[in-house]
């Protein structure tokens, strides 16, 4: 990809110019941001102009919010910036997404450049599509820079680039899919947030019910409270009402039936108007085909997804790596583990590029509900000791589980884990011996390009933040984030450090897998992503 110079960028927006008579209090008139102007050069604002620059970009981001919102809620058009969704995001978050591109993508795209592109695509007859506004904008900037006066104006360019989407009304799925969450613990509640967030027009998926064990008086209120207020991930972005009479939670308008049951096969989902449902089992109680098949005995169920590694011959899917194994006829699919999802994409890419002779995966993992807060009996070795007071050495099956997604790594990896006293965000340390020698610069640049410009941009993220710590990655939607400053390379040997939100990042992978299971087929810009 052409790197656009910060000092010479033809085709930038008028508002990006800092004219001699610039007034910091003046926000660019709407009329002046409808098209890019042909200019000879542009430079960053002077120290005196930074505040004015910020306020103008802030105003543009503010204008983008309702446009992005209407596209999403009315037409199911999802807008991204290099894989980061913009709907339901604040002004600050939108500006941070632009900042990410400037830092990691190393070009000068800002709100000045993306705003007119967004306004141009909003005028088009689009529906049920995913558009990466960041990549569309950068491509427009590049053609402005390359062609000068011969370059297309923004509306003509956007119309040409999105021509294959315009006027196509085909829905990504024939009918909306009913989803049921079996279990409503840490993973279940976060998946619920993601499903509600993605409801959009309601034409693709609907979270219809959650299934929990029978509770005592006040059970509904307690579950609603745990859902809306999370000590790690913060408050639910929306409103939740409780309907005691009908045993329902109404979250952002989504009516979610709460079903109390002790076993899957005893439930008749059709009584609640639920048909051909996909069950997401978050309990981990059943992990083999025999156990999970109990869900299929219930009325109104068609498929089952497990949020844990499956046993036996069940397909363990790491989305982005082996999701091509999912077939329409599959009834039960498992989503492997959070650690497997974190390490598999990076291992796959490194193996394809450099070859892996052998390696060791050491996981520094946040504690989980499986451990004891204070010392108490536990069937597993060491796990009975206080999770809040100790580093706990334990086993992980992630290194071996990777083989199900990447068969060529059979017999090449070992693994272990250390549980540490933090509630969320873990780190995987990959110590690898490579077939091909490399350097820190080469390896990091390869992974940076993968994070930005490959079909794995939702699985692999990249940071150059030298002071990054675990809490910085709470809420990360990618499967893993490469900590490039920590990378160690010595000839054929390398050590890679991957951060991952073992709760939220994993839940995003599960939801991606669920979309694949139900056959959702969006049109994308760029094509193939």
Q: Which residues are catalytic?
A: 338
How far is it, in rounded angstroms, from Cα 5 to Cα 3? Answer: 6
Give the CB-side neighbour count of residue 313, counting CA atoms within 13 A. 3
Q: Identify whether the C-beta of residue 506 lies closer than 8 Å to the C-beta of residue 473.
A: no
How far is it, in rounded angstroms, from Cα 419 to Cα 413? Answer: 20
Closest to 29 measured CA to CA, from 42, 43, 14: 14
Q: Identify whether the C-beta of residue 316 lies closer than 8 Å to the C-beta of residue 334.
A: yes
CA distances from 197 to 194, 251, 477 (A): 5, 10, 13
Q: What is the dihedral of CA 13, 17, 21, 24, to 10 degrees?
A: 90
CA distances from 51 to 21, 25, 56, 90, 178 (A): 16, 9, 9, 19, 48
Pairing of strands 426-434, 460-463: unpaired
Distant-in-sequence, close-in-space partners of 481: CB < 8 Å, separation ≥ 6:
460, 461, 462, 463, 473, 498, 499, 500
Which phi and psi (to 5°) does residue 3 adopt? -90, 120
């Amino acid at each position: 990809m052409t790197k656009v110079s910060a000092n010479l960028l033809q085709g930038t927006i008028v508002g990006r110019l800092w004219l001699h008579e610039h007034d910091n209090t003046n926000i660019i008139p709407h009329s002046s941001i409808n098209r890019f102007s042909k200019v000879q050069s542009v430079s960053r604002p002077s120290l005196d102009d930074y505040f004015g620059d910020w306020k103008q970009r802030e105003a543009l981001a503010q204008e983008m919010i309702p446009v992005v919102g209407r596209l999403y809620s009315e037409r199911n058009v999802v807008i991204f910036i290099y894989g980061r969704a913009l709907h339901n995001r604040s002004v600050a978050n939108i500006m941070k997404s632009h900042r990410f591109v400037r830092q990691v993508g190393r070009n000068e795209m800002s709100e000045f450049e993306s705003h007119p592109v967004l306004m141009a695509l909003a005028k088009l007859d689009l529906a049920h599509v995913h558009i990466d506004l960041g990549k569309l904008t950068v491509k427009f900037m590049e053609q402005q820079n390359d062609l000068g006066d011969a370059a297309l104006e923004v509306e003509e360019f956007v119309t040409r680039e999105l021509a294959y989407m315009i006027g196509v009304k085909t829905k990504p799925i024939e009918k909306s899919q009913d989803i049921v969450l079996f279990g409503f613990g840490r993973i279940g509640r976060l998946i619920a947030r993601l499903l509600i967030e993605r409801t959009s027009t309601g034409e693709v998926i609907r979270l219809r019910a959650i299934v929990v064990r029978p509770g005592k008086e006040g059970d509904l209120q307690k579950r609603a409270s745990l859902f809306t207020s999370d000590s790690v991930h913060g408050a639910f972005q929306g409103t939740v009402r409780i309907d005691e009479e009908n045993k329902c939670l109404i979250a952002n308008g989504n009516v979610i039936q709460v079903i109390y049951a002790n076993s899957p096969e005893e439930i008749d989902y059709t009584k609640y108007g639920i048909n051909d449902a996909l069950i997401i089992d978050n309990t981990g109680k059943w992990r083999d085909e025999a156990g999970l098949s109990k869900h299929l005995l219930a009325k109104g169920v068609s498929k089952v997804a497990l949020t844990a590694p499956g046993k036996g011959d069940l397909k363990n899917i790491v989305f982005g790596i082996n999701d091509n194994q999912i077939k329409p006829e599959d009834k039960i699919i498992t989503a492997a583990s959070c650690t497997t999802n974190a390490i598999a994409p990076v291992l796959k890419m490194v193996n394809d590029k450099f070859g892996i002779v052998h390696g060791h995966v050491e996981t520094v993992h946040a504690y989980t509900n499986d451990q004891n807060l204070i010392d108490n009996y536990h069937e597993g070795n060491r796990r009975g000791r206080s999770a809040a007071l100790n580093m706990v050495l334990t086993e992980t099956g992630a290194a071996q589980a990777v083989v199900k997604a990447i068969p060529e790594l059979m017999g090449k990896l070992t693994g272990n884990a250390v549980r540490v006293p933090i509630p969320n965000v873990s780190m995987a340390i990959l110590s690898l011996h490579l077939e091909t020698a490399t350097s820190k610069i080469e390896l990091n640049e390869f992974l940076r390009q993968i994070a930005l410009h490959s079909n794995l941009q939702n699985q692999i993220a990249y940071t150059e933040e030298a002071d990054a710590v675990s809490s910085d990655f709470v809420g990360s939607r990618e499967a893993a984030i490469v900590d490039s400053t920590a990378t160690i390379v010595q000839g054929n040997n390398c050590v890679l450090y991957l951060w991952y939100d073992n709760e939220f990042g994993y839940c995003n992978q599960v939801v991606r897998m669920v979309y694949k299971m139900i056959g959702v087929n969006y049109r994308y810009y760029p094509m193939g992503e």
